[in-house]
Structure 1
Amino acid sequence: MRKVVQAEDFYTGHGAEARFQITPGACPDALDPILEERGYQRRSPTSLQAATAERVLERTPHSPRVRLDDHPTDSWFDAWHAVHGGDLRSERNMLARVKGPSVYVRAMVGDDVAAVGRAVADSGWTGVFNMATIPEARGKGAARTVLAALAGWAESQKADRMYLQVERGNGPALRLYARSGFDEISAYHYRIATGSGR
């Protein structure tokens, strides 16, 4: 309990709401109920999933309608931002700080970007990030095309164990990843202070 109060004081001192990531097996069992009792809301239940690049490629044939770049292009950012919104400058700054081999994939329909994704290789693993599909391209295989390109790149980096995180409320993404060969290996959620009960 003392550490919870210390964390709350730290967040308050920085003008932010206290937030805890609750990961079974990594957090004390009592932490989640303590935070719930203190009025923390449960948010963003997330599934951590993994697959081998080989398995993804077996289920998701590669398409020539992709472009791979070492750095994000303006059209990659435009597509990602059109789906997710937010502060584009902050996202650019964050990605500029990423170390290690990276790839930025664009699935194309003619000259237009239909879907994007990003991967980073490290110690035999490839993390999949920033998946986004333009609304009018959804359900047409664009995201699977991106995953196949990322899997092919992962194999080329000798980092063929792939992982990603997806919110459990995102049904279309969960179906996409299941069809592409990903399985859940663990789950977590957040507890966020609401200002009451503390």
Structure 2
Amino acid sequence: MLTKNEDAALVLGCERRIINAWPALSTLVVGDWVLRFANGYSGRANSATPLSHGAELDAEMLDLIAELYRADGLTPAIRLTPLVAEATRAAVLERGYRIKDKSFGLIAPLAGLGASEEAALQIEARPSLEWTAGVAALQSGNKTHVGNLAAIVEKVRLPAGFATWLVEGEAVAFGMSVAERGMAEIGLICVHPDHRGHGFGRKIVQGLMGWAAAMGCSEAYLQVEQGNVVALNLYGSLGFRQLYQYETRILDI
């Protein structure tokens, strides 16, 4: 069983790897923080994220974050993870940042897993036009923008797997994974509404876990909204456990 110190190291490892697994179009490093910009596509790629334990933001840095995001036409957003110093967390709240969403960071061992032999599962090293269009079509809001999604996934430079599940030749479920230094992030799991309830989401996640193991990874990690009970039950049944939780806060004024 992991100790608290080991868990703290895992949190830092996951958060740093996420920057590479889900790249933004533009980034700035400000102290112990990275500011990411991607035309508003996804929260992680358009927010300020701490990259070290006890990461701090002083008044000048908070002013700069708000200014830079507004200049890019974006709402200022800060991810408050366990890496954030308590004084900085309090300062963010005092500035009026409100909760946009709350998420869990989950992690699972990959020991004993191997590449899937399911004929219906396709895993490609690069995102095809069909994959990107298929994923975007199953999203909502600004996440339906194919071009903005493509701009992010095409920037991945690490070993990656872009998964598609086929039913009679029709692509009905998608997902992706990026491997880095023994760990793999899994994300963008989505299933066409007409094909839900048949376990295709599970098949995609299992396939990507097997892919990650075959790539030499010992652990897989992912992030999921705290209110997504269906996904949490699925991931729990596949061996994922809660490693940490965080919230994304935005400034409306």
TM-score range, shorter chain: 0.7 to 0.9
How far 1:182 moved relative to its partner? 0.7
Identify unmatched segments of 5+ residues in structure 2: 1-57
The 5 A counterparts of 1:11-50 are: 11-24=69-82, 26-50=83-107
Structure 1 window deviating more from structure 2 (121-130 vs 66-75): it is 66-75
Cα pair 1:42 1:190 within 8 Å, conserved = yes
1:126-156: CA deviations, max 9, x gaps?
1112211111111211011111111111121
With normalisation by structure 2, the TM-score equals 0.69
1:92 maps to amino acid: A
CA distance in 1, matches of 2:117, 2:246: 32
RMSD: 2.1
1:75 aligns with 2:130: yes
How far 1:15 moved relative to its partner? 4.0
Q: Percent identity?
A: 25
Cα pair 1:62 1:145 within 8 Å, conserved = no
Larger radius of gyration: 1
Sort the Cα spacing of 1:40 and 1:150 in 2 relative to 1 into closer, same or farther, 3 A.
same
With normalisation by structure 1, the TM-score equals 0.86
The 5 A counterparts of 1:77-156 are: 77-84=132-139, 85-156=143-214
Cα pair 1:51 1:182 within 8 Å, conserved = yes
**Higher-RCO chain (CA-CA 8 Å, sequence separation at least 6):** 1
Cα pair 1:151 1:160 within 8 Å, conserved = no
Cα pair 2:124 2:163 within 8 Å, conserved = yes
Sort the Cα spacing of 1:20 and 1:148 in 2 relative to 1 into closer, same or farther, 3 A.
same
Which residue does the alignment assign to 1:186?
244
- Report the 3-state secondary structure (helix = DSSP H, G, I; strand = E; otherwise coil) of the residue aligned with 1:30: helix
- Report the 3-state secondary structure (helix = DSSP H, G, I; strand = E; otherwise coil) of the residue aligned with 1:174: helix
Cα pair 2:137 2:144 within 8 Å, conserved = no
2:90 maps to amino acid: P
Sort the Cα spacing of 1:12 and 1:147 in 2 relative to 1 into closer, same or farther, 3 A.
closer
- Report the 3-state secondary structure (helix = DSSP H, G, I; strand = E; otherwise coil) of the residue aligned with 1:172: helix
